Structure 1
């Protein structure tokens, strides 16, 4: 596919694809309100999500497939919702390879908006929305059985942590199991306390997707 300037623009997936995982984590980067410029793998919003994928991989080993999505374009682009189209394409590819496995969706900023849209998709067990872009008219597909992690830096001036907190209340009212995690002293880029973000997301995803080993109680 080419943009109006004749440049090749594609969506793409990269990650670890073990033969027999127990679940799949799809990591989705951010962007902006508008923009049809191509989004290469080395662009800042894309690179920002690589440590999250690595943290999940380290925590889960080969028990999870961990896949990063690269969108075609930088922007949300109004009613076209181009990153949402790209994420649905990614889900189709994942389901064709790993049919029936539970899914966790992890997204930052615009990617956080994407994962809240897709929370009602078949197989989605958990979403982690990090400093998400929240709009009042967007869907709120909370339901029993859905695990939600909402993290937001309290110094964020790009997206609003107050809206994220309200989103959590709305999803919880619809039956979702919501964890609201404000991050003191953090802005939008998630860099000041990067290790905290990476660790908590990895813990959340592995807990949501992987069954815990049974504990055998010793008799007296």
Structure 2
């Protein structure tokens, strides 16, 4: 499992050693560990080189691809589920076409119009988005999933009623749902 935190649209500086987006995603680790107990699951997180997406540089997706390569190099070709929030959700969706990736769980992802979806074909893609999100657009997530389904992805949109972008409102619902989705994807990958 590869976990990607959020960031900014622009920012070439390195994230500080302790940053809120990274801490926010670490809060998911206990529920993910409980949901996958008894399975041989490696839980990894990416520390980006830059704070931002940075336009065509796509720094977050480049770092995620590098991490997937390092996983393959160090532990072999294993099925991977990528979990990402906000900018990390965008990066998770972008790297879904990598051979090891079986599925993506994107949390309040940043989905600009025209975002590519071809790489999602044959993948399971679940998007959770709060209806009180004022940073990223839940409707943009829905539109991306419609296009992804047309491209051959298995998609599901999970509305998080009362949920905000920081995933603090109804936090236990976010954690439970993410853990269930990841466990289901990893279980499907192991039996497939």
Superposition TM-score tier, normalisation by shorter sequence: over 0.9
Aligned with residue 175 of structure 1, among 147, 152, 158: 152
Please give the per-residue CA displacement for 1:9-34, whole angstroms capped at 9, x wherever unaligned: xxxxxxxxxxxxxxxx0000000111
Distance of 1:66 and 1:151 partners within structure 2: 20
Q: Which residue of 1 aligns with 2:93?
A: 116
Answer yes or no: is the 8 Å Cα contact 1:27–1:53 preserved in 2.
no
Q: Does 1:143 align with 2:121?
A: yes
Do the aligned partners of residues 213 and 187 (structure 1) sit closer, same or farther apart at CA in structure 2, a change above 3 Å counting?
closer
Q: CA–CA distance in 2 between the matches of 1:118 and 1:100?
A: 15
- The corresponding residue for 1:20 is none
**Pairwise mapping of residues 19-30 of structure 1 onto structure 2 (< 5 A)?**
25-30=1-6
- Superposition pairs of residues 123-202 of structure 1, within 5 angstroms: 123-140=100-117, 141-144=119-122, 146-202=123-179
The structure where helix makes up a greater share of residues is: 2
Deviation at residue 37 of structure 1 after TM alignment: 2.5
**Separation in structure 1 between the aligned mates of residue 189 and residue 77 of structure 2, nearest angstrom:** 19
* 1:90–1:213 distance in 2 versus 1, CA, 3 Å: closer
* 1-structure distance, mates of 2:29, 2:124: 19
Shift of 1:213: 10
Give the aligned partner of residue 44 of structure 2: 67
Matches of 1:42 and 1:55 in 2, distance apart? 21
Aligned residue for 2:19?
Answer: 43
Following superposition, which runs of at least 4 residues in structure 1 exceed 4 angstroms of deviation? 211-214
The answer on whether the counterparts of 1:103 and 1:124 sit within 8 Å (CA) in structure 2 is yes
Q: CA deviation at 1:171?
A: 1.3
Residue-by-residue CA offset, 1:123-149 (whole Å, 9 max, x unaligned) = 1100011100001232102323x1111
1:126 is paired with a residue of what secondary structure? strand
1:82 aligns with 2:86: no
Q: Which runs of 5+ in 1 are unaligned?
A: 1-24, 215-220
Distance 2:13 2:105 in 1: 26
Q: Which residue of 1 aligns with 2:28?
A: 52
Matched residues, number: 189
CA distance in 1, matches of 2:133, 2:109: 11
| Distance in 2 between residues matched to 1:199 and 1:40, nearest whole Å | 29
Q: Give the alignment's TM-score, normalised by structure 2.
A: 0.92
CA distance in 2, matches of 1:59, 1:193: 19
Please report how far the alpha carbon of residue 41 of structure 1 lies from its aligned counterpart in structure 2 after TM superposition. Answer: 4.1
Give me the TM-score of the superposition, normalised by structure 1.
0.81
